[in-house]
């Protein structure tokens, strides 16, 4: 894990190279105030502040300053220093004007690398740390924590399924619990089969070393409001007997991305000591093919008592979440939030960058949408459209886990989950990709947190005084 702490430090009048952020509107005025050699240099580089993330080093008495283009110099975004954080030479830097604010996060994340599987480092020169100095000392710790939580999601998702099965996911939860002084409860084997039949059914095809389990973490004072956080922990999704084609299976190590988001959110809640009673639930399974695998047409009586007919063994995420959500509801929390890489349909509808948000309260959905805008961690609301319940009808059981229709797949998946949530509990569901297909500054290709900061910001707004 990258040690972010040395990379963002409070201003103690240390020597730091200035970074000047300009946009196409402010560039001319800025250039006019600079010495002629600066103007000549930016001109030679054809730097006009129009192409985002372009930058030029300006020699200054044996050292240098930096000028970098941003979209809007008056409004700092989380990613406007990310290219610089990744590309500048080793050393200490500081904004020439203003403070980095949100952009410190991108600076940090640009320096995170996932390299435990490289025996030789790539060709790029091995540069030392790029340190950012900020005048906002109080923001250093919270920003470091957000970077660490995001890196946790990336690392867990990037780790191959062979090295991250249900047991390793359990260990990851135990590590967080140890750090924060939280309690862990593990349910597996016979107890799982009796108490959580859907989790046991989905995990039935896995080898004994990768047996299914429900991992729960509890933290906080009993008199604080209860909040449940649930994450889909499918350590590998082969599709089961309804096997995925190679192209659809290739990325399925990331099918525990929801669990990674839930665990990272738990870490943030505990580190920031939010006054809530946290209940984290991670159903951890491998959706594998073997003589123990569950079958299309099987009917399983869920924890809640609803009989579920298995229409498709590849719609496994909603099954394990159903039992975990039912358990979460039993403790009567005032809020349940779940994260899941639940459907390909959410990606068809919204693409890779926008998690689909579902909520059973307009007020909650609105608050998450505004938190998402506030921290620039976008998502998009989709409807829990009751009439589509029709699509989940089973001929002989209470409900089927998938519909025969290719339409509205992420809505029917969310409608399935809704059956396991008591109406009186506010609930939000994020169908997230947990992955980045194309690198962006500060966000390499691979596992990523999408929707995590938005939900954490919502919780802070709700539960932190002031
Ligand atoms: N893990 C997948 C969903 C997924 C696929 C997320 C690709 C992100 C990218 C999930 O378990 C699944 O296979 N869902 C099926 C449901 C269908 C069988 C009703 C899907 O979306 O096709
Ligand atoms: Zn699946
Ligand atoms: Zn899945």
pLDDT digits (tens, 9 = 90+) for 225-274: 999 999 999 999 999 999 999 999 999 999 999 999 999 999 999 999 99
How far lies 239's CA from each of 112, 317, 353, in Å? 32, 10, 24
The encoded tokens of residue 200 equal 């046991």
Residues 6+ apart with CB under 8 A from 366: none
DSSP 194-217: HH-HHHHHHGGGS-GGG--EEEEE
Q: Which ligand 1 atom sits closest to the C-alpha of 287?
A: 11
pTM for the full predicted model? 0.98
Would you state the pLDDT for residue 124? 66
| Torsion angles phi and psi, residue 320, rounded to 5 | -70, -35
pLDDT in tens, 152-197: 999 999 999 999 999 999 999 999 999 999 999 999 999 999 999 9
Distance 214 CA to ligand 2 centre (A): 18
**pLDDT the model gives residue 253:** 99
Tens digits of residue pLDDT in 376-432: 999 999 999 999 999 999 999 999 999 989 999 999 999 999 999 999 999 999 999
pLDDT of residue 83: 97
In the predicted structure, residue 458 carries a pLDDT above the cut 80: yes
Burial of 95 (0-12, 13-18, 19+ CB in 10 A): buried
293 touches 179 (CB < 8 A) = no
| Annotation marks residue 436 as catalytic | no
- Find out whether 441 and 110 touch, Cβ atoms under 8 Å: yes
pLDDT at 460 over 90: yes
Say yes or no: CB of residue 49 within 6 Å of ligand 1: no
Kindly state if the Cβ of 296 falls inside 6 Å of ligand 1.
Answer: no
How many alpha carbons lie under 13 Å from residue 305 in its C-beta half-sphere? Answer: 1
Flag whether pLDDT at 123 surpasses 90. Answer: no
Residues 261 and 449 sit within 8 Å (Cβ to Cβ): yes
Is there an atom of ligand 1 within 6 Å of 243 CB?
no
pLDDT, averaged across the chain: 97
The 10s digit of each residue's pLDDT in 7-45 is 999 999 999 999 999 999 999 999 999 999 999 999 999
What are residue 112's DSSP bridge partners?
Answer: none
Q: pLDDT band at residue 466, thresholds of 50, 70 and 90? A: confident
Distance from CA of residue 247 to its chain's centroid?
23
Taking residue 391's Cβ as centre, other Cβ atoms within 10 Å add up to 19
């Amino acid at each position: 894990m990258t040690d972010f702490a040395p990379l963002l430090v409070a201003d103690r009048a240390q020597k730091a190279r200035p970074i000047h952020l300009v946009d196409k509107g402010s560039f001319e005025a800025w250039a006019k105030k600079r010495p002629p050699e600066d103007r000549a240099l930016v001109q030679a580089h054809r730097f006009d502040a129009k192409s985002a993330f372009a930058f030029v080093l300006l020699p200054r008495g044996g050292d240098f300053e930096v000028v970098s283009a941003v979209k809007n110099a008056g409004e700092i975004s989380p990613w406007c220093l990310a290219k610089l954080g990744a590309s500048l030479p080793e050393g200490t830097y500081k904004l020439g004007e203003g403070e980095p604010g949100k952009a410190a996060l991108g600076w940090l994340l640009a320096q995170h690398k996932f390299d435990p599987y490289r025996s030789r480092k790539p060709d790029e020169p091995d540069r030392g740390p790029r340190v950012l100095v900020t005048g906002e000392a109080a923001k250093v710790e919270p920003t470091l924590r957000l970077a660490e939580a995001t890196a946790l999601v990336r690392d867990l998702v990037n780790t191959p399924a062979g090295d991250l099965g249900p047991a390793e996911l359990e260990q990851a939860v135990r590590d967080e619990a140890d750090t924060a002084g939280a309690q862990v409860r593990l349910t597996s084997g016979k107890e799982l089969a009796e108490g959580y039949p859907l989790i046991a059914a989905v995990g039935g095809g896995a080898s004994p070393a990768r047996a299914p389990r429900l991992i729960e973490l509890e933290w906080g004072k009993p008199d604080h409001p209860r909040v449940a956080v649930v994450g889909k922990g499918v350590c590998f999704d082969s599709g089961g007997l309804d096997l995925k084609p190679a192209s659809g299976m290739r990325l399925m190590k990331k099918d525990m991305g929801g669990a990674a988001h839930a665990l990272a959110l738990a870490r943030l809640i505990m580190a920031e000591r939010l006054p809530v009673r946290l209940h984290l639930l991670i159903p951890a399974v491998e959706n594998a093919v073997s003589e123990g695998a569950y079958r299309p047409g099987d009917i399983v009586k869920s924890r809640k008592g609803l009989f579920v007919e298995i229409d498709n063994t590849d719609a496994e995420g909603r099954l394990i979440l159903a039992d975990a959500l039912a358990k979460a509801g039993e403790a009567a929390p005032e809020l349940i939030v779940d994260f899941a890489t639940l459907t390909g349909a959410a990606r068809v509808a919204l693409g890779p960058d926008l998690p689909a948000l579902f909520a059973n309260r307009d007020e909650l959905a609105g608050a998450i949408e505004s938190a998402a805008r506030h921290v620039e961690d976008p998502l998009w609301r989709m409807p829990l459209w009751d009439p589509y319940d029709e699509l989940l009808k089973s001929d002989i059981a209470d409900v089927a886990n998938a519909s025969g229709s290719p339409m509205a797949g992420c809505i029917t998946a969310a409608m399935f989950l809704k059956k396991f949530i008591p109406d009186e509990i506010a609930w939000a569901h994020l169908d997230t990709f947990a992955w980045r297909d194309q690198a962006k500054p500060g966000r390499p290709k691979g596992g990523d947190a999408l929707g995590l900061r938005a939900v954490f910001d919502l919780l802070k707004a709700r539960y932190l005084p002031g």
